[in-house]
């Protein structure tokens, strides 16, 4: 299969971890669990070490990145760490004039809307992100057998920030370009695919044991538009990292109608938000793929009994799956009680002990 044992630097204990086994659809002692956005503002220890350091600068400091990545692993005993960074880090690294505004998100100084604007996007080389290589080296030593997930933004979601100039509800400039100048759109996504692929390769070469491609906002598209205008670029990214044999996870929000195609693009694991039950998601994705998800993050604000009830619904829907990695249907929210997350990890582990 595409995820046979890699020849590279993967230690055996990592290869045999519960998380990577579930990604490969092998039997596991219990359902593995991690949370998207598990590092970050829900943790007081995060707020403390980030004090006075802008988000994008923090991503370039290997010691800080290592500490922040390890914080949720220590606190919650999740089955995998996710590398602390952001989807816009590779764009910043090649010189795109952008920043992450607190409470807003990524903001791009000169949005990309014409062919001339494409010049902002040059290829990414490992030297552009040497701090990533350094941080992942430190992290994999600290993590021991626990796997590290690398990640990147998918071409559509990156394009959405670049074309809109910031976060967007309706993606109007993005869609105007996609429908109005299909050739420029295709060239933009193809260039982003190369940058994204290069960024993922750096992380895998440095020691990441799995990668997740976040296409957070692609749920804004209808299936035919996804196939025509997005799938070629996402497929190119997955193909570019196939040779490493590490599991490739693909996730987006509101992607119920796209799950089959997101698998087809080359994912080994398809991430599902909370809108589609996992048994139905499995029918849409088809055989040969593991699923990741899908507790509604907002459920964590309800009393513990309600969280456990909703967690059981997720586990019941996942009962017949070949491979299941428990996660939220989207990221941890800053206002979440970290203790509720710790309890959730423990609950999933003990409930699924085999």
122 is catalytic: no
Q: Whose Cβ is closer to ligand CP3: residue 105's or residue 232's?
A: 105
What is the sign of the dihedral through the CA atoms of 308, 314, 320 and 325? Answer: negative
Residue ranges in contact with ligand CP3 by CB under 6 A:
36-41, 50, 55, 82, 84, 86-87, 100, 102-106, 151, 214, 216, 331
Return the half-sphere exposure (C-beta side, CA atoms, 13 A cut-off) of residue 267.
Answer: 31
Catalytic residue among 25, 113, 128, 161: 161
Is 9 known as a binding-site position?
Answer: no
Is 330 known as a binding-site position?
Answer: yes
| DSSP β-ladder status, 98-101 and 269-271 | unpaired
Is 39 known as a binding-site position?
Answer: yes
Minimum Å gap between C-beta 9 and ligand CP3 is 22
Return the half-sphere exposure (C-beta side, CA atoms, 13 A cut-off) of residue 108.
Answer: 24
Q: Whose Cβ is closer to ligand CP3: residue 25's or residue 152's?
A: 152
Would you say 161 and 174 are in contact if contact means Cβ atoms under 8 Å apart?
no
Q: Whose Cβ is closer to ligand CP3: residue 41's or residue 239's?
A: 41
Place of tokens 């694991």: 269
296 is catalytic: no
86 is catalytic: yes
Catalytic residue among 37, 228, 275, 351: 37
Backbone angles phi, psi at 258, to 5 degrees: -115, 0
Q: Whose Cβ is closer to ligand CP3: residue 25's or residue 96's?
A: 96
Is 226 known as a binding-site position?
Answer: no
Catalytic residue among 50, 227, 275, 351: 50
Helix (H) or strand (E) holding 106: strand 105-108
Q: Whose Cβ is closer to ligand CP3: residue 266's or residue 331's?
A: 331
Catalytic residue among 15, 61, 86, 117: 86
Is 216 known as a binding-site position?
Answer: yes
Is 254 known as a binding-site position?
Answer: no
41 is catalytic: yes
Is 271 known as a binding-site position?
Answer: no
Q: Whose Cβ is closer to ligand CP3: residue 25's or residue 217's?
A: 217
Minimum Å gap between C-beta 216 and ligand CP3 is 3
**Alpha helix (H) residue ranges in the chain:** 12-15, 18-23, 44-50, 55-58, 62-76, 89-93, 130-143, 155-164, 172-180, 182-206, 223-229, 231-241, 259-264, 278-285, 304-317, 338-351
Q: DSSP 3-state assignment of 137?
A: helix
Minimum Å gap between C-beta 201 and ligand CP3 is 18
191 is catalytic: no
Would you say 162 and 92 are in contact if contact means Cβ atoms under 8 Å apart?
no
What span, in angstroms and rounded, lies between the C-alpha atoms of 282 and 270? Answer: 9
Q: Return the structure tokens found at 155.
A: 């071409």
Catalytic residue among 41, 228, 275, 343: 41
Is 83 known as a binding-site position?
Answer: no
Minimum Å gap between C-beta 320 and ligand CP3 is 28
Minimum Å gap between C-beta 168 and ligand CP3 is 11
Q: Return the structure tokens found at 220.
A: 């804004």
Residue among 302, 79, 77, 340 nearest 310 (CA): 302
Minimum Å gap between C-beta 209 and ligand CP3 is 15
Return the half-sphere exposure (C-beta side, CA atoms, 13 A cut-off) of residue 47.
Answer: 8
Report the binding-site residues: 37-41, 86, 161, 216, 330
Which residues are identified as catalytic? 37, 41, 50, 86, 161
Report the binding-site residues for substrate: 37-41, 86, 161, 216, 330
């Amino acid at each position: 299969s595409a995820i046979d044992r890699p020849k590279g630097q993967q230690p055996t204990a990592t290869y045999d971890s519960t998380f990577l086994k579930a990604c490969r659809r092998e039997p596991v002692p219990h359902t593995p669990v991690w949370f998207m956005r598990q590092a970050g503002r829900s943790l007081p220890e995060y707020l403390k070490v980030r004090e006075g350091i802008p988000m994008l600068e923090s991503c370039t400091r290997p010691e800080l990145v290592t500490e922040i990545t390890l914080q949720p692993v220590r606190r919650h005993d999740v089955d995998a760490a996710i590398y602390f960074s952001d989807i816009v880090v590779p764009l910043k690294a090649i010189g795109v004039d952008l920043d992450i505004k607190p409470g807003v998100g990524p903001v791009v100084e000169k949005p990309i809307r014409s062919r001339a604007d494409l010049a902002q996007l040059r290829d990414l080389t490992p030297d552009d992100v040497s701090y990533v290589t350094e941080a992942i080296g430190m992290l994999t030593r600290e993590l021991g057998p626990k796997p590290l997930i690398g990640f990147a933004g998918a071409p559509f979601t990156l394009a959405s920030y670049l074309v809109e100039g910031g976060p967007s509800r309706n993606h109007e400039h993005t869609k105007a370009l996609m429908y109005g100048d299909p050739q420029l759109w295709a060239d933009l996504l193809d260039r982003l695919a190369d940058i994204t692929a290069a960024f993922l390769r750096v992380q895998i070469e440095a020691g990441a044991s799995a990668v997740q491609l976040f296409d957070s906002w692609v749920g804004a598209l209808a299936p035919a538009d996804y196939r025509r205008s997005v799938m070629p670029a996402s497929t190119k990214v997955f193909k570019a990292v196939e040779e490493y044999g590490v599991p490739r996870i693909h996730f987006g929000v509101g992607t119920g109608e796209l799950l089959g195609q997101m698998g087809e693009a080359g994912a080994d694991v398809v991430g599902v938000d909370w809108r589609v039950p996992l048994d139905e998601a499995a029918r849409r994705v088809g055989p040969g793929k593991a699923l990741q998800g899908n507790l509604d993050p907002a459920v964590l604000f309800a009393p513990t009994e309600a969280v456990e009830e909703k967690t059981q619904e997720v586990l019941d829907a996942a009962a017949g799956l070949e491979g299941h990695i428990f996660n939220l249907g989207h990221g941890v929210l800053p206002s979440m009680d970290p203790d509720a997350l710790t309890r959730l990890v423990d609950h999933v582990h003990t409930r699924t002990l085999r």
